[in-house]
Amino acid sequence: MSREYSLTPKRVARVETTYRRIVTKFPVPQSIPVLEKLQALEPVAMRGQPPVVWSHANGFQVSDAWGNQWIDWSSGVLITNAGHGRREIVDAIVEHASSEMLTNYCFPSEIRKRMVETLAGLLPAPLEKVFLLTTGSETVECAIKLCRIHGVLAGGRRKHVIVSFEKAFHGRTLGSQQAGGIPALKEWIVNLDPGFVQVPFPDGFRTEDNSFAGFERALSEHDILPEDVAGVMLETYQGGSAAFAPAAYMQSLRRWCTEHNALLVCDEVQAGFGRTGKLWGFEHYGIVPDLALFGKGISSSLALLSRGGRASGYHGSAFAGQHDFNAHGQSDLLRSCTGIDRSAVEREPDGKRAEDGRHPASAAARVGGPVPPDRTRGWQGTGGRHRVREGGDEGAGRRSCVGRGRALH
Ligand SMILES: Cc1ncc(COP(=O)(O)O)c(C=O)c1O
């Protein structure tokens, strides 16, 4: 849990700009009963959220019921890639809800066919199968299972090791946290499965040696033989720091996985659907993984996740594929916003190309500079994903922003 915000309303400077408006004390006195009730009824895991009680949202802006308006730099925690309140999505949801058919798991449907067809059509070979699930963590669990099934079939029970990266975040369930690379998040597990191993992520600053030799060295330090690896999984970019691996490293990793018959898994739950300035994050590396996991921006609204891949193996859930409600909205969204106009996804707001090395979002560029050489403060990232590196007190910048109409998470 991050540090909690005070619920004592304080006077803050009035803000009235084109996109931001702060006209009350903060937190807003009338919002305190809502915040207190949530504190009383929800677990501690839900604390630490900025005390902005959202009432409505549009595009990149969110408003409360008392006249304040923020720029939503959280992007709904990296979900609203197409913006809040996108007309096509709203219309599709309303239209489908009106049909009153909100569930049909055991039976096929035309809408589901349209959805998987649209997704499969967007993915490069060999990502030819699409499986719809319900949370990002579930796609990760599914990938772990498929890697292990693949490994054991290919090389017997020894070939079960899942290699992932230090500092990685893959979700909050048992398997996804073991694949994650943040030790504090898995203390609760106690008896960690030794078949999950993390190696340094080649970000070039926390791990200065970002050559592929570092991957092989780390495996041998863990006493892992390449032939025992069932799969290698990474966040296409590390969400916690908006850090990418070098393309050369990823191309070597792709070759290594093929050579050792291990599945390469890109967790695109954050990186997919245009978040990085390309439709898929792995395009930055010039590779295609064996499995790609999608979430968040896939729907820009309701929960919907998918796994695209070439590997098969049994996995299911009560809600798997049961996304008629979503699929309807999503098919329309996919048609309209990706519609899929790659050139729109790959352009900066001011029309410049994402990869031309400029500082990304223009709003970000106004308040931050390029990443300084020591990388302890400043911005990093590309497309629609950036991280403020604050140095010193993590969270101080975020806390000071929220009272000034910029809602960061
Ligand atoms: C890269 C990545 N993978 C997986 C997840 C887990 O997704 P969910 O919260 O939908 O389970 C997240 C969530 O933040 C994520 O960022």
- pLDDT 10s digits, 44-73: 888 889 999 999 999 999 999 999 999 999
Q: Are strands 61-63 and 69-72 parallel, antiparallel or unpaired?
A: antiparallel
- Residue 330 predicted with pLDDT over 80: no
Q: Please state the length of the chain.
A: 409
- Residue 291 predicted with pLDDT over 60: yes
CA atoms within 13 A on the CB side of 141: 16
Which of 87-96, 246-255, 301-310 bottoms out in mean pLDDT, i.e. has the lowest? 301-310
Ligand 1 pocket, mutate which of 74, 75, 137 (most atoms under 8 A from CB): 137
**End-to-end C-alpha distance for the chain, whole angstroms:** 12
Tokens encoding 246: 């070098």
pLDDT at 409: 56
**If residue 230 lies in a helix (H) or strand (E), which one and from where to where?**
strand 229-235
Q: Which atom of ligand 1 is nearest to the CA of 138?
A: 11
- Residue 338 predicted with pLDDT over 60: no
> Does residue 135 have its Cβ closer than 6 Å to ligand 1?
yes
Is 112 in contact with 323 (CB distance < 8 Å)? yes
Is 359 in contact with 379 (CB distance < 8 Å)? yes
Residue with CA at minimum distance from ligand 1 atom 16? 270
User: Distance between CA 72 and CA 82 in Å, rounded?
Assistant: 13
> Does residue 295 have its Cβ closer than 6 Å to ligand 1?
yes
Ligand 1 pocket, mutate which of 74, 176, 296 (most atoms under 8 A from CB): 296
Model pTM score: 0.84
The dotted CATH code for 88-342 is 3.40.640.10
Strand partners, 265: 233, 291
Query: Over the range 110-133, which residues count as b (16 or more CB within 10 Å of their CB) and which as e?
Result: ebbebbbebbeebbeeebebbbbb
Spacing, Cα 185 to ligand 1 middle (Å): 14
Distances (CA, A) of 157 to 88, 224, 228, 384: 48, 14, 9, 41
pLDDT at 101: 85
Mean pLDDT of 66-82: 93
- Residue 405 predicted with pLDDT over 80: no
Strand partners, 59: 84
Instruction: Give residue 319's identity as a one-letter amino acid code.
Output: F
- Residue 150 predicted with pLDDT over 90: yes
User: Distance between CA 149 and CA 223 in Å, rounded?
Assistant: 22
Domain ranges of the chain: 15-72+372-407, 88-342
> Does residue 249 have its Cβ closer than 6 Å to ligand 1?
no
Write the CB contacts of 155 (distance below 8 Å, at least 6 apart in sequence).
227, 228, 230, 261
> Does residue 401 have its Cβ closer than 6 Å to ligand 1?
no
Q: Which runs of consecutive H residues, i.e. helices, occur in 198-323?
A: 213-221, 247-259
Q: Which atom of ligand 1 is nearest to the CA of 173?
A: 11
Tokens encoding 331: 């098919």
Write the CB contacts of 32 (distance below 8 Å, at least 6 apart in sequence).
7, 9
pLDDT at 356: 41
- Residue 354 predicted with pLDDT over 50: no
CA angle 309–266–275, rounded 5-degree value:
110
Tens digits of per-residue pLDDT, 162-191? 999 999 999 999 999 999 999 999 999 999
Is 270 in contact with 77 (CB distance < 8 Å)? no
Pick the closest to residue 398 from 390, 192, 81, 194 (CA basis).
390
pLDDT at 378: 46
Write the CB contacts of 203 (distance below 8 Å, at least 6 apart in sequence).
210, 238, 241, 243, 244, 245
Is 231 in contact with 162 (CB distance < 8 Å)? yes
- Higher per-residue pLDDT: 155 or 376: 155
Give the mean pLDDT of the chain.
Answer: 84
> Does residue 270 have its Cβ closer than 6 Å to ligand 1?
yes
User: Distance between CA 409 and CA 405 in Å, rounded?
Assistant: 13
Spacing, Cα 137 to ligand 1 middle (Å): 6
User: Distance between CA 321 and CA 108 in Å, rounded?
Assistant: 9
Q: Which atom of ligand 1 is nearest to the CA of 168?
A: 1
- Residue 396 predicted with pLDDT over 90: no
pLDDT at 377: 44
Which of 81-95, 123-137, 374-388 bottoms out in mean pLDDT, i.e. has the lowest? 374-388
User: Distance between CA 73 and CA 364 in Å, rounded?
Assistant: 10
Residue with CA at minimum distance from ligand 1 atom 10? 136
Spacing, Cα 168 to ligand 1 middle (Å): 11
Residue with CA at minimum distance from ligand 1 atom 8? 136
Pick the closest to residue 291 from 327, 260, 254 (CA basis).
254
